[in-house]
Amino acid sequence: MLAPKFLGWARVPNNARVLDVGCGTGALTEAVLASGARQVTAVDPSTAFIAYASSRLVDQSHAAEFRVGDAMDLPLPDGTFDAVLSELVLNFIPDPTRALREMHRVAKQDGIVSACVWDYADGMKMLRFFWDSAAALDSAARYLDEGVRFPLCHPEPLKKLFEDAKLSNVEVGSIEIETRFHDFEDYWSPFMGGQGPAGEYLISLDDGNRARLREKLVAELPTGPEGGIQLGAKAWTVRGLKPHR
């Protein structure tokens, strides 16, 4: 699970007031609460995600607040949070520079601003196999690959983004985890749900081209003696502090 590792890397202090920008299903919010935060505000533009995240954490509603909101225009006052975190979101925000300005604005002086993104370019092996196989069969697939489309999946632009937002002591690091699949179907079935660029691409294919991609992936993916598939996944992390004026 990425959220606890990201939280540890960000070095959020105990009893902190924390903002989770782009909370999604609430995994990071849950990890922040478990780490000893005093209070967490979670913001996401999706009403469905906010409803789901708040329902899964209903027992902790005294310490968690969920709001529908845009990362580029956070519905929150200046200088409110000890830590402002964003997990696996920056690449999907239309204007990440504006979002970082907002994260800077709502942090307290000396407050932490931190984010992480998947290394789509190389370190996210489950997607790297998918897109490399797809591009070998269909050259147009290359232009849908997150590793090509998302510049923030590299450490250098991440650091620059934070420095340009006038954050100090900017650090970049990485987190590596293993993703395990029981068999090929366990790997394949999430893509068939049509979620994300890879899923959208897969369900756009006709039956014949989908079958060819499936066959190529079966041949390419490293399979253990019992049929399991184990693939590495890397996320880049970045952390800065809001300086005193």
Distance of alpha carbon 44 from alpha carbon 72, whole angstroms: 11
Distance of alpha carbon 243 from alpha carbon 126, whole angstroms: 39
What SS3 state is found at 61? Answer: coil
- What single letter denotes the amino acid at residue 169? N
Backbone phi and psi for residue 45, each to the nearest 5 degrees, phi listed first: -75, -15
What SS3 state is found at 126? Answer: helix
Taking residues 169-177, what's their average pLDDT? 96
Residue 61: pLDDT above 90? Answer: no
Global confidence as pTM: 0.90
pLDDT range class, residue 196, cuts 50, 70, 90: confident
Distance of alpha carbon 127 from alpha carbon 145, whole angstroms: 9
Q: Which residue has the tokens 């990425």?
A: 2
Percent of the chain residues past pLDDT 90, beyond the cut: 87
Q: What is the pLDDT of residue 205?
A: 96
Q: What is the pLDDT of residue 230?
A: 94
Mean pLDDT over each residue of the chain, to the nearest integer: 94
Distance of alpha carbon 69 from alpha carbon 63, whole angstroms: 19
Q: What is the CATH number of domain 1-119+154-177+234-245?
A: 3.40.50.150
pLDDT single digits (tens) 201-232:
999 999 999 999 999 999 999 998 888 999 99
Residue 233: pLDDT above 80? Answer: yes
Q: Both tokens of residue 155? A: 């450490």
Q: What is the pLDDT of residue 62?
A: 85
Q: What is the pLDDT of residue 87?
A: 96
Q: What is the pLDDT of residue 234?
A: 94
DSSP-derived secondary structure for 180-224: EESSHHHHHHHHHTT-HHHHHHHHHS-HHHHHHHHHHHHHHS---
Q: Which residue has the tokens 């979670």?
A: 42
Q: What is the pLDDT of residue 55?
A: 93
Q: What is the pLDDT of residue 59?
A: 84
Distance of alpha carbon 52 from alpha carbon 183, whole angstroms: 29
pLDDT single digits (tens) 74-129:
999 999 999 999 999 999 999 999 999 999 999 999 999 999 999 998 889 999 99
- Domain ranges (residues) in the chain: 1-119+154-177+234-245, 123-145+183-227
β-strand pairing of 81-87 with 17-21: parallel
